[in-house]
Amino acid sequence: MAFKYRCAVFDLDDTLYSAECGMWLEIRARINKYMVERLGVPEAEAPLQRERYFRECGTSLAGLRHDYPDIDSDEYLAYVHDVSYERYLARDDALARMLNGLMLVKAVFTNADRAHALNVLSALGVEKHFDVIVDVHMTNFVNKPRIGAFNVLFHALGAEPRECVLLDDQERNLEMARSLGMATILVHHEVSADDVADFCVSDVVQAGGVLRRLASE
């Protein structure tokens, strides 16, 4: 790693906040409910179909857009993210200090929409620390780990892949990032990096030291 990194790219859900908070469980339940109530999927089949979409397509929405071409994607996103953010998330001063100390361009790169991202960042008290948000609208509903989503990210940052570091909790996103030349940090409370990422931390605040070292190279 002989060149200088200048962009830190953060996944949103289960990366900037802990998966243990429970918010994603409610969002998943709302996805199931949407599929049953709006699309007529049998209740017993909805969780299995959602899991298959996530596994095969990257997101539930990507699978739904394929199988139900007339779906209103904006309505779907508003419905599934209609949760009480304050119930699950609180101001994270340690995260704010870590972000404030990074002399890097900081971006959020999410398969969700900008409204959800802003709600999360606001609840955590860190919205002012991010320069760029790349959401599913900006990528025209091309989601991670597809290369088209990453190309939109690099364009938005005005950066080459080798100038960027991705922090994510999903192995497939990190694998794509590495193949493109990005440095990678796996953020997960129980998984070791192995061949998945260049670095591994149990929570995002711990990544501050790694990012500072990379920025100074």
pLDDT tens digits for range 116-169: 999 999 999 999 999 999 999 999 999 999 999 999 999 999 999 999 999 999
Question: Kind and range of the H or E element at 133?
Answer: strand 132-134
The domain locations on the chain are 7-17+90-216, 23-80
Predicted confidence (pLDDT) per residue in 53-105, tens digit: 999 999 999 999 999 999 999 999 999 999 999 999 999 999 999 999 999 99
Q: Is the pLDDT of residue 1 over 50?
A: no
Residue 50 CA to residue 64 CA, distance in Å, equals 9
Q: Domain 23-80 falls in which CATH fold?
A: DNA polymerase; domain 1 (1.10.150)
Q: Which residues of 112-123 are buried (b: 16+ CB within 10 A; e: fewer)?
A: bbbebbebbbeb
Task: Yes or no: say if 121 and 110 are a contact pair by the CB < 8 Å rule.
Answer: no
Q: Which fold has domain 7-17+90-216?
A: Rossmann fold (3.40.50)
CATH topology of 7-17+90-216 equal to that of 23-80? no
Q: What are the pLDDT digits (tens) for 154-188?
A: 999 999 999 999 999 999 999 999 999 999 999 98
Q: How far apart, in whole angstroms, are the C-alpha atoms of residue 19 and residue 41? A: 27
The answer on pLDDT for 193 being more than 80 is no
